[in-house]
Structure formats: C-alpha cells, structure tokens
Amino acid sequence: MQQLGEIRHDWSEAEVKALFELPFNDLMFHAHSVHRQNFDPNEVQVSTLLSIKTGSCPEDCKYCPQSAHYSTGLEKERLMEVERVVEKAKQAKATGSTRFCMGAAWKHPHERDMPYVLDMVRQVKELGLETCMTLGMLDQDKADRLSDAGLDYYNHNLDTSPEFYDKIITTRSYQDRLDTLQNVRDSGMKICSGGILGMGETAKDRYGLLMQLANMPVQPESVPINMLVKVEGTPLENVDDLDHLEFIRTIAVARIMMPKSHVRLSAGREKMSDEMQAMTFFAGANSIFYGECLLTTPNPETHRDLQLFKKLGINMEQRISDSDETQEAALMNDLQKQQDSSHFYEA
C-alpha cells in the first residue's frame, strides 16, 4: 500500500476496497495516524444548521421528508425572515458554533429569493461566523453572487455512487450535482459535499462515493457522512440498518483518502451511542452539527454533546466563548428559550 496521508486524486476501486478490508484495528490505526498528522485529534469543529425554508421540495430524494413527493406529515414553512435567521445565528454563536449553515428545500434558488438569501449571508457573516448554505443547484451566476456576498461554504451532497444514484433520486442527475460543485469551486467558495450511508447501497457504492469525492481536482474541504434517518412516509422507511462498524470503517477510509478535509458526522448521530461517536472521532471525524435540528431530523441535545466532549476531553475548534461555564450557561438559556417557544425543532 502506498504512503498513507498523501492527497491523491487517482484512487482506484481496488485500493479503496483494500482499505475497507483491512483488519479493523489496522484501519483504525492508519486513519488515526493520518488524522494526527493533519489535525489536533482532540478538537472538533462545530456548526449549527438551520432550515430557512422547509418542505414542498420538487425533488424526489427517497430519504427526504421535505420532498413534496412523499407524505410525511412535515410542517412546511416559507422562507424565514432575515431578522429571524440572524437571531438564530446569534444564538448559535453564543453556544460555541463557528459556522452557521442555512438550508432551503429548493430545486434551486429562484431569482426572487436571491436578495433575501444574499442579505442573510451578509448579516450572518458580520456576526463573525463562517457562513454555509445549501439551496439546491447553482448556476455560475448565482454561485458568484453568493460568493461575493461572503458565503464561505456551499453544501451540495453527491449522496451515493453514480451507479446507485438513480435508485435514490430521479429528478436531478449526478452530472447536475457535479456541475453545481464545479460552479461553487469556480466562484471561489469552499465545498461541503458528502453522502448518506444505509440507503440499501452496496459496499461498492460506498467505495464509489468516496472515490468521487477524493478524486475531484480539489477535494471538498468538508465531507459530511450521514447515516440514513428512516422517516415514516419516505420510500426508505423500512430499509435494512447498516452495520455500525461499516459506518465507522467508511469514516476511517474517508479520513485516509481526504487527509486534510473536515469529515463531518451529520444526520443519524442522535441514534449513535457515545461509544460509537467516540470511535468515529478516533477514526477521523472532526466536525459535527449541533444545537438546532438537523434540517428536519432530530439532532442529539446540545448538552449531551457538551457532556460527551467533556468525557472525551474534546475541545471545540476556534471556540468563541471563553470558558465551558460561559458556553454551557448560554446554551442552557438558549435551549430553555427554544422549548418555551415550542420551537425546539425547526420543522
């Protein structure tokens, strides 16, 4: 096996398979070694994700409760007012997030929405937070305007391998997704792109997803790896569970193939035990979403995250608050306020 820890864009399926098939302890050792070469192993970057427009999406992603194609009982919301978004961003900053991600269930942003979206980017950026958005497909013009407004990251997931893709989505093609990512890259923004595991894909599809991401001319700066959250009413509600060890292996292989990217534990984390999360951090995951609901699926309560970080001796990357106590107090206050307003989950 060639030198691990080198950034490469020519991974073959045989090489990726060989990594996945290493004895578990060897794989964990290699992944953790690569992780240590590139990051502080006791630091995790924390982002908050807010749904700024919920439901009625014309796309048919089979895992998604926001798709208009499925009846999941999700409460729809129109585009949130800019002031409300900024208020949420302030709360996220007070509880230690360094990046604020705003997601809208659109095929692509419409021209009529652009002034609001651009205003959100400018105002959230002024708070000193990194900004990220996920709004669907982007042409070059919209990507450039978002970049000019100060958007740091754009999230657009590849979801799975090109071969499995049309079993999951038929309303936009894999090439559409790659084109959006290219437009984002050409506009100068950073890319957040990853996928979802446990949708009934094969091991080969997991290799394929990682190869697509790692073999891009510039690897995505952020790679979210989601575990499917099975939502009643979606076509994937009864799909078989993915073995947790296979999930951890995928994180480890992602770390080896994309040594300098932040590998993000995303949806599905609320079902993971502390031990499993600890194992994924060891395997190379070093970014999470916390606080708000993960778009429309529940995220573990933020205080559970803080407790876990404390138990593991993990610090938040570029922590904004000056002490655990300040942060925890702000957090509890925030949670209380959200519960009081019956708006704990955004959906």
Does residue 57 belong to the site contacting ligand SF4 (CB under 6 A)?
Answer: yes
Among 64, 158, 189, 197, binds ligand SF4 (CB under 6 A): 64
Angstrom distance (rounded) from CA 156 to CA 322: 33
How would you class 1 by CB atoms within 10 Å of its CB: exposed for 0-12, middle for 13-18, buried for 19 or more?
exposed
CB atoms within 10 A of CB 295: 26
Does residue 192 belong to the site contacting ligand SF4 (CB under 6 A)?
Answer: no
Residues with Cβ within 8 Å of residue 263, at least 6 apart in sequence: 223, 225, 251, 254, 255, 284, 285, 286, 287
Among 47, 59, 229, 338, binds ligand SF4 (CB under 6 A): 59
Does residue 61 belong to the site contacting ligand SF4 (CB under 6 A)?
Answer: yes
Does residue 258 belong to the site contacting ligand SF4 (CB under 6 A)?
Answer: no
Minimum CB distance to ligand SF4, residue 76 (Å)? 11
293 is in an annotated binding site: no
The contact pattern for ligand SF4, residues 13-52, with x = CB under 6 A and - = no contact, is ----------------------------------------
Q: Pick the piece of the chain touching ligand SF4 (CB under 6 A) from 36-44, 60-68, 181-189, 251-259.
A: 60-68
The contact pattern for ligand SF4, residues 94-133, with x = CB under 6 A and - = no contact, is -----------x----------------------------
CB atoms within 10 A of CB 280: 24
Angstrom distance (rounded) from CA 39 to CA 35: 6
Angstrom distance (rounded) from CA 161 to CA 163: 5
H or E element that contains 316: strand 315-316
Does residue 66 belong to the site contacting ligand SF4 (CB under 6 A)?
Answer: yes
- Relative to beta strand 285-289, strand 43-53 is parallel
Of 61, 172, 206, 255, the catalytic one is 61
Which residues are documented as binding site?
Answer: 57, 61, 64, 101, 132, 192, 264
Catalytic center residues? 57, 61, 64, 101, 132, 192, 264
